């Protein structure tokens, strides 16, 4: 009887350790063990500084600003599901969801990793994620709240998209799922300024229980990513070890100050945040990450090697993702976070990548 039980446990653990989800977790852990991290870029295959895959008819998703500069694709492709909750055709930045799925599959085929965030609408006002200060949006979606049923439909739409990501054998593709990010800030309806810590935690647990429990999704690696503001509150705004796999940070080089001040400010902010989150990860046996970063417009031509590299030196992050290179006319010359051909930090970015800590495809 006992032998059968032990055998069953061994077989089950073999099965669990072979799951695509576990393999993704293992690749994060082994990157850290090698002293490296997986490098990511938001919307990398969808568009870049001067191009849009859809407009160019690129259905193979060959183009990438990162590739154009380095000859390698980023290991992680970041995409955002904002807008899917309404059943829209395109996300909030104009990416068609069908094409996002195709890009995700192409990236997976190349051996890459996917991460999804969700800049979803304010369920109470119908405004965007940034529509704050207008009532208890978080409470409204919790069980018993006036928007709960609607929110279940929103989660269904997310589940349909994410469980539709399958390889040729029909197996679900694992993804780093990063909902309700930057929650220690004050700019999204799920932020610290908008709800009590316990309400945020309930929101997260409700989503986890629904997606994993009710819907049976097995391909999600759960990533929580506070912003650097009010980072001290992070331990309170944490749903519990059972609901989280990766703990990361969202933090950007400050703008509206001189390049020198930005460099000093960024380094000291990262030192504080990674000290707190690094200790938290050790105590809770979680994987550390740098979920969003960059210097908007990259006005510092040596930012990668002289600011970013020393600021994360020795910090055991499993991945690092730079935000998007917007290509819409109004923003394209200011709202970008990774180098593109001709951008002033191009050579430095190449040097940073070739130094070898950032894993590429």
- DSSP tag of 216: -
* CB of 329 vs ligand BMA, minimal distance in Å: 13
**How many residues lie near ligand BMA (CB under 6 A)?**
6
* CB of 161 vs ligand BMA, minimal distance in Å: 16
* CB of 293 vs ligand BMA, minimal distance in Å: 12
For ligand BMA, give the closer residue by CB, 185 or 239: 185
What string marks each residue from 25 to 64 as x (binds ligand BMA by CB under 6 A) or -?
----------------------------------------
For ligand BMA, give the closer residue by CB, 80 or 269: 80
Extract the tokens encoding 31: 């990157």
For ligand BMA, give the closer residue by CB, 66 or 206: 66
Buried b (16+ CB within 10 A) or exposed e, 209-246: ebbeeebebebbbbbbbbbbbbbeebeebbbeeebbbb
Q: By C-alpha distance, which of 38, 68, 30, 29 is closest to 359?
A: 38
Show contacts with ligand BMA in window 287-326 (CB under 6 A): 324
For ligand BMA, give the closer residue by CB, 82 or 174: 82
* CB of 61 vs ligand BMA, minimal distance in Å: 18
For ligand BMA, give the closer residue by CB, 31 or 120: 120
Q: By C-alpha distance, which of 299, 307, 206 is closest to 251?
A: 307
Residue with token string 């009590």: 196
Q: What's the start-to-end Cα distance of the chain, in Å?
A: 48
Show contacts with ligand BMA in window 65-124 (CB under 6 A): 80, 82, 92-93, 119
SS3 116: strand
For ligand BMA, give the closer residue by CB, 80 or 172: 80
Residue with token string 């068609």: 96
- DSSP tag of 86: G
For ligand BMA, give the closer residue by CB, 37 or 118: 118
DSSP string, 121-139: PPTTTS--TT--SSS-HHH
Upper half-sphere CA count for residue 151 (Cβ side, 13 Å) = 23
* CB of 298 vs ligand BMA, minimal distance in Å: 15
Q: Quote the CA–CA distance of 346 and 338 in Å, as a whole number.
A: 9
Exposed/middle/buried for residue 169 (C-beta within 10 Å: 0-12, 13-18, 19+) = exposed
Residue 55: which residues within 8 A CB-CB, separation 6 or more? none
* CB of 117 vs ligand BMA, minimal distance in Å: 7
* CB of 93 vs ligand BMA, minimal distance in Å: 5
Confirm if 97 and 71 have CB atoms less than 8 A apart. no
For ligand BMA, give the closer residue by CB, 318 or 325: 325
For ligand BMA, give the closer residue by CB, 147 or 332: 332
* CB of 104 vs ligand BMA, minimal distance in Å: 16
Confirm if 72 and 353 have CB atoms less than 8 A apart. yes
Determine, following the binding rule CB under 6 A, whether residue 348 of this chain makes contact with ligand BMA: no
Q: Quote the CA–CA distance of 240 and 285 in Å, as a whole number.
A: 12
* CB of 95 vs ligand BMA, minimal distance in Å: 9
Contacts with ligand BMA, residue ranges (CB under 6 A): 80, 82, 92-93, 119, 324
């Amino acid at each position: 009887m006992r032998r059968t039980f032990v055998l069953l446990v061994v077989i089950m653990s073999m099965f669990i350790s072979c799951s695509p989800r576990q393999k993704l977790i293992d690749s994060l852990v082994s990157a850290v063990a090698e002293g490296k991290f997986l490098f990511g870029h938001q919307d990398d295959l969808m568009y870049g500084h001067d191009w849009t895959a859809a407009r160019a008819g690129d259905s193979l998703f060959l183009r990438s600003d990162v590739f154009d500069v380095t000859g390698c694709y980023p290991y992680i492709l970041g995409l955002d599901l904002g807008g899917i909750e309404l059943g829209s055709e395109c996300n909030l930045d104009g990416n068609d969801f069908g094409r996002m799925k195709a890009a995700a599959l192409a990236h997976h085929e190349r051996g890459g990793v996917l991460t999804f965030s969700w800049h979803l609408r304010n369920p109470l006002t119908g405004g965007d994620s940034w529509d704050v200060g207008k009532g208890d949006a978080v409470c409204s979606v919790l069980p018993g709240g006036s928007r709960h049923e609607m929110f279940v439909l929103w989660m269904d739409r997310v589940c349909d998209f994410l469980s539709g990501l399958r390889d040729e054998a029909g197996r679900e593709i694992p993804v780093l799922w990063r909902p309700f990010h930057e929650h220690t800030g004050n700019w999204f309806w799920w932020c610290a300024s908008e709800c009590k810590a316990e309400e945020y935690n309930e929101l997260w647990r409700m989503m986890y229980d629904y997606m994993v429990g009710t819907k049976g999704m097995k391909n999600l690696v759960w990533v929580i990513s506070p912003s650097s503001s009010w980072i001290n509150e992070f331990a309170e705004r944490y749903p519990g070890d059972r609901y989280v796999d990766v703990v990361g940070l969202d933090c950007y080089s400050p703008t509206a100050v001189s390049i020198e001040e930005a460099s000093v400010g960024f380094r000291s902010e990262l030192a504080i945040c990674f000290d707190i989150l690094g200790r938290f990860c050790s105590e809770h046996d979680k994987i550390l990450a740098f979920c969003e970063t960059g210097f908007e417009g990259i006005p510092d031509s040596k930012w990668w090697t002289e600011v970013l590299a020393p600021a994360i030196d020795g910090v055991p992050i499993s991945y690092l993702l730079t935000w998007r290179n917007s290509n819409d006319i109004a923003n394209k010359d200011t709202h970008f976070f990774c180098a593109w051909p001709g951008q002033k930090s191009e050579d430095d970015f190449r040097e940073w990548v070739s130094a070898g800590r950032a894993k590429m495809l």
